[in-house]
Amino acid sequence: MYVDAHCHLDMPIFDGDRAAVVARARSLGVTQFVIAGVDRESWVRQRSVTLEGWGAFWSAGIHPVRCAEMTAQELERSLSALPACFSGEGAACAVGETGLDRRFAPKTTIPVQVESFRRHLDLACELELPIILHVVQAHGRCLEVLREHTLSKRGGMVHSFSGSIEVAEAYLDLGLCLSLSGASVRSERGRMRDVIPRIPEERLLLETDSPDQPLNRGDRNEPKSLIEIANRVGKIRGCDPTKILRDSAANCAELFGMQIEGSDE
């Protein structure tokens, strides 16, 4: 019924209890998962998890932080291998994560990140697939790149959004969805309290980014936490969290071309 719009169920931290993690989520109604790609190693794991039949979909991309760590030759090999992720059994449904990161990667690597970002945007347009953006302390430069580029007709999402109202409106004007994570609603104060009510319901997504960004720092995050994220978003927006979960699932279906479990559509 509900969809975790961005998580990393393929990561080795889940190898010992992945089936139990999925079962705990499903017991609360979180029945489908979009597993975001970060590098070539993850692509193999993601396709494998998708083929397990747990309601998982996946995206393929090179995370900007991983991009910054690669040699020029390694990055080119990865970019050249990326298109193969979108064919064959269990093909990826979106391009990314990609984008820009000034916090967890050296600022001197921004030109390399930008070039990788543009290559991802080109591929998304060519394949007519949505793009998944990771942007940390680099919204201005990211928006410049997006405005210089033709976006895929399928649009995309900014994952774990935590920017200002002005930045939110800029992404929305480009036709992108904004995805909220535990980090987006962790604080009782802050600018997200003003941003969250302004996101149109047809552009709002919910994600856990598990195992990262738990509601309580230090925990291993799981997709089951999507329910509490929805509760907090509902409190901020002054509406039923079940509606938010349903809206997010419908938006995921539209964005990623998913058939939502339990839907007759």
Q: Is residue 96 included in any domain, yes or no?
A: yes
Domain containing 149 equals 2-256
Residue 263 lies in a domain: no
| 231 found inside a domain | yes
The CATH number of the domain where 228 resides is what? 3.20.20.140
* pLDDT score of 228 more than 90: yes
- Position 219 in a domain: yes
In a domain, 196, yes or no: yes
| DSSP one-letter string for the chain | -EEEEEE-TTSGGGTTTHHHHHHHHHHTTEEEEEEPP-SHHHHHHHHHHHTTTSSEEEEE---HHHHHHS-HHHHHHHHHHGGGGGSSTT--SEEEEEEEESSSS-GGGHHHHHHHHHHHHHHHHHHT--EEEEEES-HHHHHHHHHHSPPPTT-EEETT----HHHHHHHHHTT-EEEE-HHHHS-SSSTHHHHGGGS-GGGEEE---TTSS-SSTTSPP-GGGHHHHHHHHHHHHTS-HHHHHHHHHHHHHHHHT---TT---
pLDDT tens for 143-186 read 999 999 999 999 999 999 999 999 999 999 999 999 999 999 98
pLDDT tens-place string over residues 112-127: 999 999 999 999 999 9
Specify the number of domains making up the chain.
1
Instruction: Examine residue 265 and state whether it is found in any structural domain, yes or no.
Output: no
Question: Model pTM?
Answer: 0.96
Q: How confident is the model at residue 264, as a pLDDT?
A: 47
What pLDDT digit, counting tens, does each position of 75-119 carry? 999 999 999 999 999 999 999 999 999 999 999 999 999 999 999
